[in-house]
Amino acid sequence: MSAYSISATVPLDNAAQLEETLRHIGATRYHSLHPFHKLLHGGKLNKGQVQAWALNRYYYQSTIPIKDAVVISRFRDRATRQEWRHRIEDHDGDTGAEGGIERWRKLTEGLGLDSAYVESTEGILPATRFAVEAYVHFVRDRTPLEAIASSLTELFAPNLHEERISGMLKYYDFVNPDIMSYFSRRLTQAPRDAGFALDYVKQHATTPAERRAVCNALIFKTNVLWVQLDALYHAYVDGHVPPGAFVPAK
Ligand SMILES: O=C(O)c1cc(C(=O)O)c2c(n1)C(=O)C(=O)c1cc(C(=O)O)[nH]c1-2
């Protein structure tokens, strides 16, 4: 066991073994297992703590299209770029079509946060910034195959989003279906994206070494997500807010 890579003894001789290993990584390392999410979805946080989560996650959400633009830049193959580009539109929106970032801003606004403050990202935790930047650098610096593989956490997102929608609506009187629209929309977007990425890595990782690199890219990404919640827990559950970061109103 390592925090960064799968064990050398895991068999990766074909695409079926690759998929099995990827699903195992999700089942054991996805951030749905993190204690901060248990508190968030179980109604155990106060409004200020939910605000801190949404404020920090805004940085992740708003960086995703930048990450996807970098992914696209790695491919000479037009068909892959064509397939990938709707992800940018899903988040950025288009003329007359609201995108995910705008929906996320509605969430932070509905939680009572000032949009200019959220968009400035001035109040986010240093660990959020470092983790999210590491994701962008990963897709820039690793192979195109690993860049695609790092998006595979989305395979596990729909279950988490369903748990989040129902838990947050049930437990928090400051949450309503309108401000949760970001997540209801992702329930259809994420499976399509994850399905493409899974098919892609199964087809293009043709050696055990490449399949291992795919698995380790997914582990890297689960770490990107996990450390963001570690930092939120330390700051807003344990109460050690770093200098200059968002402090909820009393
Ligand atoms: O709420 C979540 O837990 C969660 C997780 C993830 C993920 O697993 O990376 C994404 C999202 N949401 C999400 O909304 C989203 O648009 C998204 C894009 C990506 C990606 O890596 O390209 N991950 C995720």
User: For position 26, what pLDDT does the model report?
Assistant: 98
The interface pTM score, or ipTM, of the predicted complex is: 0.94
Number of structural domains, the chain?
1
- Whether 249 is covered by a domain: the verdict is no
Q: Of 60, 132, 153, 154, whose CA–CA distance to 101 is shortest?
A: 60
Quickly list DSSP for 122-186.
TTS-HHHHHHHHHHHHHHHHS-HHHHHHGGGGGGTHHHHHHHHHHHHHHH-TT--TTTTHHHHHH
Is the per-residue pLDDT at 27 higher than 90? yes
- Whether 32 is covered by a domain: the verdict is yes
What is the 250 CA–ligand 1 centroid distance (Å)? 31
Nearest Cα residue to atom 16 of ligand 1: 61
User: For position 192, what pLDDT does the model report?
Assistant: 94
- Whether 15 is covered by a domain: the verdict is no
What is the 7 CA–ligand 1 centroid distance (Å)? 26
- Whether 219 is covered by a domain: the verdict is yes
Pocket test for ligand 1, best of 58, 64, 142 (most atoms within 8 A of CB): 64
- Whether 61 is covered by a domain: the verdict is yes
Each residue's pLDDT tens digit, 65-100 = 999 999 999 999 999 999 999 999 999 999 999 999
User: For position 250, what pLDDT does the model report?
Assistant: 78
Find out whether 213 and 20 touch, Cβ atoms under 8 Å. Answer: no
- Whether 7 is covered by a domain: the verdict is no
What is the 232 CA–ligand 1 centroid distance (Å)? 17
In a 13 Å sphere around the CA of 102, the CA atoms on its Cβ side amount to 11
CA distance 202 to 196: 10
- Whether 221 is covered by a domain: the verdict is yes
**Ligand 1 — pocket residues by CB below 6 A?**
64, 100, 151, 153-154, 157, 160, 186, 225
- The domain of 112 spans 25-237
Nearest Cα residue to atom 4 of ligand 1: 157
What's the mean pLDDT when you consider all of the chain? 97
User: For position 1, what pLDDT does the model report?
Assistant: 73
CA distance 227 to 128: 8
Find out whether 100 and 65 touch, Cβ atoms under 8 Å. Answer: no
* Paired tokens of 208: 């055990």
Residue 187 belongs to domain with CATH number: 1.20.910.10
Pocket test for ligand 1, best of 88, 107, 153, 183 (most atoms within 8 A of CB): 153
What is the 153 CA–ligand 1 centroid distance (Å)? 7
Q: Which atom of ligand 1 is nearest to the CA of 156?
A: 8
What is the 154 CA–ligand 1 centroid distance (Å)? 6
- Whether 88 is covered by a domain: the verdict is yes
